[in-house]
Amino acid sequence: MSEQIIPAQGLPAAPLGRWVAWVTQRSTLVAGLAIAGLILFIGFVAPFLYPPDPFAIHPDHALQAPSWAFPLGTDELGRDELALLLSGGFATLVVALPAAAVAFVVGIAYGLTAGLGPAWADRVMMRLLDAILALPSLVILIFFASLVTLNNTSLILLLGLISWPGLARLVRNETRAQRGRDFVLAAEQLGGGRFYIARMHLVRVMAPVLVVNGTFMIGDSIFALSALSFLGLGVQPPQVSWGSLLESALDIIALDPWWLILPPGLLVFGALLAASLTGQGLLQRWGNGR
């Protein structure tokens, strides 16, 4: 009864027109990737293009608004704010990106194990997950951050080993849902083992979901690190990060230093927006395709 009729694809023939159509159809995705490119440029390339030392102190130029000498002004110690922002970008991304990767791998491993394992193991693992998810990840992060010595390695592990439960639950639920689908049953009937099913079928059908959520996790990781740094429990002095720059500006907010608040805030916003738009864009493209 549900003989689907596939509409003919009618793309404009001219290359420019086709390109425009491609972009407008994916405006969310394109915008997300463009901002992501900009953020990566700021974090990893721009520090080499802008030579001033971020930690050089100019006491007679303290707390100055943007000028030719200091494009984004100076902080209360007279440090070059633009140089600080670029250095803080590197410090943020160099922790947040690997941490997201760790969480991604742990989350998938945990979710697949629960989803494919025997029923009792699944129940135990999911109950544990529910309890962990009852605690906001920032709360767990604050707790453990107060216990350990904070440096890049410990921060990567801390963020990575605490941010995976959401993905794990998603992967487990997807695995359970996909496992009961007819094509998986058919593969089992053909003699496919558990590992074969996971590799050949589950991971393939879940790939879009994984990529989309991996993208969201990068945003979450950047947010978590910035929030921790903002609370003084993340990237530690003398290193700076976007979160800690904003925090130190807040201490002197009564002096109206807008140039110290707007740029780091906008950069974190940009990074989160990039992840969110890219993820949403991918979701729009793939949402119905699985």
Partner 1 sequence: MIRMITTRLASSSLSIVILVTLVFVMAHLTPGGPAYSILGMKATASSVAQLNARLGLDAPLWKQYAIWWWHLLHGQLGYSYLLNRPVGQLLWQYERNTLVFYISAIVISTALSIGLGLLQGVYYGRWPAKLIGALQLGFYALPPFFVAAMLVLWFAVQLPLFPASGITDLRAVHPSIGSYIAHLALPVTTITLLTVASLSRYFGEAVREELGKDYVRTAMAKGVRFPSILFGHVLRNALRPLVTMIGLSFPYIFTGGVIVESVFNYPGLGWLMWRSALSQDYPVLIAIVLIIGLLTVLGNLLADLVNGLLDPRASYE
Partner 2 sequence: MSDVLKLENLSVSLPRGRAGNVAILDELNLTIGAGEMLALVGESGSGKTIAALSVMRLLPRGARVQGSIQLAGTELTALDDRAMRGVRGRDVGMVFQNPLAALNPSRTVAAQIQEAWRVHQGGSIRAARARALDLMGEVGIPQPAQRLDDYPHQFSGGMRQRVMIAMALACAPKLLIADEPTTGLDPLIARQIMQLIAKLRREHAMGVLFVTHDLSVVEEHADAIHVLYAGRSVEFGSARQFFAHPRHPYSAALLNSVARLGQTRLQNIPGQLPEPEARPAGCRFAPRCAYHQPACDAAYPAFVANGGTAAACLFPLPAGSVLHAAPLAKPAGRNYAPQLEVQDLSVRYAGAGGWLGTGGKQPPTLQDVAFSLGKGECLGVVGESGSGKSTLGRAVLQMIPYGGHVLLDGHDLAGLRGPKRRAQRRRLQVVFQDPRESMNPRLRIGDIVAEPLRLQGRISQAETRRRVAALLGRVGLNPELALRLPSSVSGGQAQRIAIARALAAEPEVIVLDEPTSALDVSTQAMLLNLLKDLGQSDALSYILISHDFAVVSYMADRIAVLNAGRIVEMNETARLIEAPQHRYTAALIEAAPQLRSYSR
Query: Contact residues for partner 2 (CB under 8 A)?
Result: 1-8, 10, 119, 123, 181-183, 185-193, 196, 200-201, 204-205, 207, 289-290
Q: Which does 280 bind (CB under 5 to 8 A by kind): partner 1, partner 2, none?
A: partner 1
Tell me whether residue 81 is exposed, middle or buried, using C-beta atoms within 10 angstroms of its C-beta: 0 to 12, 13 to 18, 19 or more: buried
Please list the alpha-helical segments (H only) found in the chain. 15-25, 27-44, 46-49, 81-116, 119-133, 137-145, 152-162, 165-179, 182-189, 194-197, 203-230, 242-251, 258-286
Per CB under 8 A, the list member of 14, 20, 56, 131 interacting with partner 1 is 131
Other Cβ atoms within 10 Å of 145 Cβ, number? 20
Q: Sign of dihedral through CA atoms 195, 198, 203, 204?
A: positive
Amino acid in position 281: G
Amino acid in position 165: P
Nearer to partner 1, 14 or 34 (CB): 34
Closest contact distance (angstroms) between CB of 64 and partner 1 is 18
Q: Which does 8 bind (CB under 5 to 8 A by kind): partner 1, partner 2, none?
A: partner 2
Closest contact distance (angstroms) between CB of 103 and partner 2 is 25
- Does position 277 bind partner 1 by CB under 8 A? yes
Q: Are 276 and 223 in contact (CB under 8 A)?
A: no
Per CB under 8 A, the list member of 78, 192, 208, 265 interacting with partner 1 is 265
Per CB under 8 A, the list member of 68, 147, 189, 288 interacting with partner 1 is 147
Give the whole-angstrom CA distance, residue 276 versus residue 95: 19
Give the whole-angstrom CA distance, residue 241 versus residue 10: 48
Per CB under 8 A, the list member of 14, 56, 109, 128 interacting with partner 1 is 128
SS3 166: helix
Per CB under 8 A, the list member of 17, 130, 186, 290 interacting with partner 1 is 130
Nearer to partner 1, 57 or 252 (CB): 252
- DSSP letter for 9, please: P
**233 CB-near residues (< 8 Å, 6+ apart):** 141, 142, 145, 146, 150
Q: Which stretch binds partner 1 (CB under 8 A): 7-15, 52-60, 152-160, 263-271?
A: 263-271
- Does position 202 bind partner 1 by CB under 8 A? no
Closest contact distance (angstroms) between CB of 173 and partner 2 is 15
For residues 214 to 253, the per-residue mask of contacts with partner 1, x marking binding by CB under 8 A and - elsewhere, is -----x---x--xx--xxxx---------x--xx-xx--x
* Token pair listed for 206: 């879940």
SS3 244: helix
Closest contact distance (angstroms) between CB of 237 and partner 1 is 14
- DSSP letter for 2, please: -
- Does position 161 bind partner 1 by CB under 8 A? no
Closest contact distance (angstroms) between CB of 216 and partner 1 is 11
Give me the residues that bind partner 1 (CB under 8 A), please.
28, 127-128, 130-140, 142-143, 145-147, 219, 223, 226-227, 230-233, 243, 246-247, 249-250, 253-254, 256, 258, 261-262, 265-266, 268-269, 272-273, 275-277, 280
